[in-house]
Structure formats: structure tokens, C-alpha cells
Structure 1
Amino acid sequence: MKNNVSLHTMTRIAVFIILSFAIYLLLAGHNNPGGGFIGALMTASAVVLLYISFDLKTIKNVLEFYFPYFIGTGLIIAIGTGISSMIFGYPFLTQFFTHAHLPILGDVELTTALVFDIGVYIVVVGVTLLIITTIAEDDV
């Protein structure tokens, strides 16, 4: 593929915007529409855009991630959230929340649903990118 500076520049800008919105969806998901699943799909779409604009090998050299580890880590976080409520005698996946006052952010609500969403986010990013890169690397 030819070196297309304008395509690469626009891709970098678009990826920044997509990733920013994906983080917003992840953080707002336990109170508003969004969450770990849709935020992860947005993140995967940003990485796929990088794969399309640049080259699969180039991006794999820059982002040296082994996606099955993502899947395992996300599952441990998500299941750990559910099991942690059982340790305290509550049903599986019972949500707990509290408010904290942070110096810069002010009053912030902390929930276990956000931790679960982060686990789902990591799993979905791992699965989606593993499937896409496996298909893209197929030389048939």
C-alpha cells in the first residue's frame, strides 16, 4: 500500500474520537445507555480502522497484544465481581455503590457494576479483535 499521509492523519484523528466516545460509553453504561459491550465494540472498530488504514503487520508491531490474555483477564474481572458479592453473603452479581468526593472530579458514584462492565469490555475487545485478526491473517 502506498504511503498516504492524509489517510493516516485522518485515521489518527478518527481513532482518537472513536476511542474517546468508547470510554464515555463504558463509564456511562451503568446509569445510561451504553456499557462494556458497546464500548468494546467501538474500541474494536477503532483498532480495525487502524488495521485498514495502515497495515495489519505494522499495527501488530505497534500494538503487541495477545488477545486470548484479554479474554481471560476480562472473564476473571467479571466473574470476580459476581463472586465478591457472594463472599459477603449476597446473591451472585449483587450491585453495591457508594459516593466518594475526589479532589478534581468532585462527588463521584462508585459502583461494582462499573467493574463488571470493565470486565465485559476487556472480554469483548479481546474476542472481537482475535476473530478479526485471525480472519485477516488467513492466506487462503
Structure 2
Amino acid sequence: MSTLIFRTIAPYLSALMVLFSVFVLLRGHNEPGGGFIGGLIAASALAIYGIAYGVDVVRRALWVDPNALAGFGLFMAAVDGLSAILAGKPLLTGLWFVPVIFGVEIPLSTVLVFDVGVYFVVVGSLASIALALEESD
């Protein structure tokens, strides 16, 4: 399905979906959403872009192999879960840091690192599946 209208709107729709997926990712540790839902939205954006332009264009746009992205996300989530043990807390306990940057307190947490890891796992694994299915056609 590579109509002119679809190929014209696909880059804008994909960019908007990726931007929304990052919003859902960052909002997720305080409200519903997070790494999994954000990753699903981003993987859907890559699938739409792949349907419009082909697998090779999506692979060039990703910069890294989707399987490597999923592996890195799994490593991030695992290391984040173990960081609580190093702090003397139970596994996967959220730790908060509030650094002051340019006079502004910015609350950071290990929960966000875990969510980013889940995001990478979902995007990498689903992009790998979608690209493999699109290559088989």
C-alpha cells in the first residue's frame, strides 16, 4: 500500500507518533502509561513508516539494529533493578535523586531508567518483528 497520499503523510504521522510515545514514556512513572505503552506507539510509528517506504529506509532511520536496541533496554532495566540492592533496599525499589541544576531542583528516579529500558525492549523487539514480516512480502 504505497499510495501517494500515504507516502506523503507517513513521515509526519510517524514523527508525531514518536513524539507522543516519548510524552507517554516520561509521563508514565507518575500516571498510567510508561515504557511499555510508549514503546508500542513508537514501534507502530516505525511500522507505518516501513509500510510506506520499505524496510531499508526504516533500518537506516533506526541507526542501530532493533535486536541490539532490545538487548540494551533489557540490560538497562536489569541494572536498574539491581541498583536498589546496592543501596540496601529490596530488588526493584525506586530510588530518587534531586540534583540542583542551574538553581532548579530536578527530581530523577531509577523508575524512569527502568521505564526507558522497557521502552527500548518493546521498540526493539516489535520493530524487529515488524521488519521481518515486511521483508517476507
Bigger drift between 119-128 and 7-16 goes to 7-16
C-alpha separation between the residues in 2 aligned to 1:133 and 1:119?
Answer: 21
Structure 1 match to 2:71? 72
Corresponding residue of 2:120: 122
For 1:27 and 1:19, the matched residues in 2 are separated by 12
Residues 11-37 of structure 1 deviation map (CA, whole Å, 9 limit, x = unaligned): 121112111110000001000111000
The 3-state SS of whatever aligns with 1:18 is helix
Please give the alpha-carbon distance, in whole angstroms, between the structure 2 residues aligned to 1:128 and 1:35.
16
The CA deviation string for residues 25-58 of structure 1, in whole angstroms up to 9 with x for no partner, is: 0001000111000000110011111111112233
Cα displacement (A) at 1:64 = 4.2
* Matched residue, 1:91: 90
> Relative to structure 2, which stretch is displaced further, 46-55 or 23-32?
46-55
* Counterpart amino acid of residue 93 in structure 2: T
The change in CA–CA distance for 1:125 and 1:62 in structure 2 (over 3 A counts) is: closer
Matched with 1:132 is: 130
Mapped partners of 1:121, 1:87: distance in 2: 24
CA shift for structure 1 position 92: 0.4
**Matched residue, 1:12:** 11
Residues 53 and 31 (structure 1), Cα distance of their counterparts in 2 relative to 1, 3 Å cut: same
Q: Distance in 1 between matches of 2:134 and 2:8?
A: 23
C-alpha RMSD of the superposition: 2.1
> Cα gap change, 1:22/1:2 in structure 2, threshold over 3 Å: closer, same or farther?
closer
Distance, in Å, in 1 between the alignment partners of 2:2 and 2:71 is: 37
Q: State the AA in 2 paired with 1:128.
A: L
Identity over aligned pairs, percent: 34
- TM-score by structure 2 length? 0.87
Question: Where do 4+ consecutive residues of structure 1 move more than 4 Å?
Answer: none
**Counterpart of 2:21?**
22
Q: Tell me, what secondary structure is at the counterpart of 1:9?
A: helix
Aligned length: 137
Where does structure 2 lack aligned partners over 5 or more consecutive residues? Answer: none
Structure 1, unmatched stretches of 5+, are none
